[in-house]
A and B are shown apart, each in its own frame.
Chain A
Amino acid sequence: MIPGSRIDQILAGAAIGDATTQSALIVRETLRSMGYRSDLYAPGDRIMPELAAQCRDLADYRAETRYGVIHHYGVWSPAAEVYMGAAERKILVYHNVTPPHFFKGYSDRMVALLDEARRRLPEVARASRDIWAVSGFNAGELRSLGFTGVKVFPLPFRRDALTAKPDPGILAKLAAPLTTFLTVGRLAPNKRIERLLRAFAWYHHAINPFSRLVIVGSQHSAPRYVAYLRWLAHELKTPNIDMEGFVWPEALAAYYQRADLLVSTSDHEGYCAPLLEAMHYGVPVLAHDIGGIPEALGGAGARYRELPPRLLGELMHTLTEKDILRRAVLASQEKRLHELDARRIDSELRDLLNHQP
């Protein structure tokens, strides 16, 4: 590498609470610490105003001498088009494209968008000199498409980025002594929140009525799915379900602080950063053992497969009640956090950048 040369990153959008944006910010800081000049770019209308100082408008992306350009790919977008037209060394970071069938019935637009993203993935990969995947699961998808040189660069995660102080208003709102289950992530059909609603309904009706389920995450990607969930919650006669939508980091910290267990019932995840956040806040994690989740957990937390909702509800109860199991889960999570703290993102990046395909 030539010291002082540029490596920029192009994103489809930049938002607070978005794992891709967060990881791109960590990569930018690491590249800068390694001597590169580095900026983030995203289409202007897809940059959250709060991130305007962190992310530049893609319209300002000019042809200039760069060592390389990194594109974080999870959907086809104007950012991908700019990336494809770039002349410098292209580095694709694959964050996974949600299979379109999950959105069938909820959003024809999302089905078309994700279908296009999957269809054009080989084209983007072929145009790239380097292909990095944020999990082995994602790398496997690319290898099955015939791309053999894929390198795994696990989603960068740094605990020192989680500095928000818990919102006292949310802490007060959740002060009642109820057992609190939490799930975090954009509300999309692949998250299979309906399974969690059913498991919680069993828990609430059959085990402990002094309980609540808090669902945190943007509700914009599939409002019809959210309508289905609301109706299902009503039919399950389970009133203590709070669908909070997008929340700021301070509120999220408060929800983590009040949670007894974080549950993920997702059927498709490229990695799943909220699991790591929950570990950081000392919340035990129970997750569906699929996709990139086992890699994110790295042997920590509690994982399940093929459990009907009533047994999942029983497992949620066991993990909140049995001290010995809870302590085992927390100990495994503490070990995982130490591994993540010891990770040297700069040396990983240096190796990846020095790699000759």
Chain B
Amino acid sequence: MSARISIGERDETGVLLPQLERAAAARNPVAGSPPDEQGLPADRLADAKDVADYRQRLIALIREQSAVVIEDFKPPVRRGWIGILMQPWRRFWWKQLRYQHEKIAAQHNAVTALIVAALDEQDQRLKELERRAEATREPDGQTDAQP
């Protein structure tokens, strides 16, 4: 199936699609602009086979991304001369706020690191319990636990 765009009852694909493609090609998105399709770590969650698989993928993602990103931030600029005049003002205030922001981010990272460590502990405990349950299982698949 190919792209189609309708406005009201009219098919406008022939007019609008080339315009949109030209406009998108001419854009110069800021760094970090997103890819069109799958490809971000989060998308691994969307590929999970079942809930157990989802949980494993989620824990792996938390381990990978346990720190708050504090890379530089470029304040957006409104169009027109007011936007241009406001830009240095916005940059100044961002720099002033950054000190506080990074302090909070550092605390956040410490808390997240603790949560990830706790998840690892739980994970190891679960594996140990599973190993013990397996060891107590009878050859016919029944456990030896009796009421």
Residues of A near any B CB (own CB < 8 A): 104-108, 194, 198, 201-202, 205-207, 209-210, 224, 227-228, 231-232, 234-238, 289, 299-311, 313-315, 317-318, 325, 328-329, 331-332
Contact = CB atoms under 8 A, between A and B. Distances in A.
A303 B28 CA distance: 27
Interface stretch (B42-50, B107-115, B131-139): B42-50
Contacts of A304: 3-6
Interface of B: 1-9, 16-17, 19-21, 23-24, 27-30, 32-34, 36-37, 40-43, 45-51, 53-54, 58, 61, 76, 78
Given A289-B6, A332-B7, A224 B36 contact: no
Secondary structure at the B interface, as helix, strand, loop or mixed, is: loop
A310 B24 contact: yes
Contacts of B9: 299, 332
Contacts of B16: 315, 318
Given A105-B45, A315-B16, 17 more contacts: A104-B49, A106-B54, A202-B24, A202-B34, A205-B33, A206-B30, A224-B51, A231-B45, A300-B8, A303-B5, A304-B4, A305-B4, A309-B34, A310-B24, A310-B36, A313-B24, A314-B20
Nearest to B27: A206
Contacts of B41: 235
22 contacts: A105-B49, A105-B51, A105-B54, A202-B34, A202-B36, A206-B24, A206-B27, A206-B30, A207-B27, A210-B78, A224-B51, A227-B45, A228-B45, A228-B46, A289-B6, A300-B8, A302-B7, A302-B8, A304-B3, A306-B3, A308-B37, A309-B36
A332 B8 contact: yes
Contact of B51 (A107, A300, A315, A331): A107
B8 A328 contact: yes
B118 to A, nearest CB: 18
A234 B1 CA distance: 31
Contact of B48 (A105, A201, A325): A105
Interface centre among A227, A228, A289, A315 (most CB of B within 10 A): A228
Contacts of B2: 305-306
Which of A105, A107, A308 has the largest count of B CB atoms less than 10 A from its CB? Answer: A105
Contacts of A194: 43, 46
A202 B33 contact: yes
A198 B1 CA distance: 21
Contact of A307 (B3, B32, B53): B3
Contacts of A237: 32, 34
Nearest to A333: B8
Nearest to A324: B7
Contact of B5 (A104, A205, A307): A307
Given A231-B45, A232-B40, A235-B40, A198 B6 contact: no
Given A224-B51, A300-B8, A303-B6, A231 B61 contact: yes
B1 A232 contact: no
Contact of A105 (B6, B23, B42, B50): B50
A112 B106 CA distance: 43
Contacts of B46: 105, 194, 228
